[in-house]
Amino acid sequence: MTIRTMTIEDFEQVHALWMTIKGFGIRSIDDSKEGVERFLKRNPTTSVVAEIDNKIVGSILCGHDGRRGCLYHVCVDEKYRRHGIGKAMVVYAMQALKREKINKVSLIAFTVNDIGNAFWNTIEWTERKDLNYYEFVLNEENITAFNEQ
């Protein structure tokens, strides 16, 4: 297995992986090739892929705003789960953030994502109960569709 920094050349394989993940939410604009390319240009060293035999089996979009890092779309192909790939990618992304002087990392996991929430608890991330998460949608055309697979 190889863990490495994601590039835009990985988009087709990464997007194909996303489409296999049950319950995965894909945004029409943010998760398009153009949206991912914009994200990677802003955060060129922090997103991650895991490869086995030249096939991408895991990915994380990871970026920061200069103060706090954030993980998006953390996933591992179902056939390759429970082999430490997810944790290895998270460690790789966090090390990249540390090199950029980022001291805290957050993520959002949907409450119905039992597999994801179990993963984050297993690798000792802290679920916060002391805050509410708010958002304001600036572009109504950026629609989220959830995979039914």
The answer, yes or no, to whether residue 139 has pLDDT greater than 70, is yes
Number of compact structural domains in the chain: 1
Instruction: Tell me the helix, strand and coil percentages in the chain, rounded to 5.
Output: 30, 25, 45
How far is residue 103's CA from residue 97's CA, in Å, rounded to a whole number? 8
Q: Does residue 24 contact residue 139 with C-beta atoms inside 8 Å? A: no
Query: What is the domain extent for residue 39?
Result: 2-146
Write the pLDDT tens digit of every residue in 85-101.
Answer: 999 999 999 999 999 99
The answer, yes or no, to whether residue 26 has pLDDT greater than 80, is yes
Residue 51 sits in a domain whose CATH number is 3.40.630.30
How far is residue 121's CA from residue 143's CA, in Å, rounded to a whole number? 29
Write the pLDDT tens digit of every residue in 29-54.
Answer: 999 999 999 999 999 999 999 999 99
Task: Compute CA 62 distance to the chain's CA centroid, rounded to the nearest angstrom.
Answer: 6
Element at 79 (helix H, strand E):
none
Enter the pTM of the model: 0.88
Write the pLDDT tens digit of every residue in 106-131.
Answer: 988 888 788 888 888 888 888 888 88
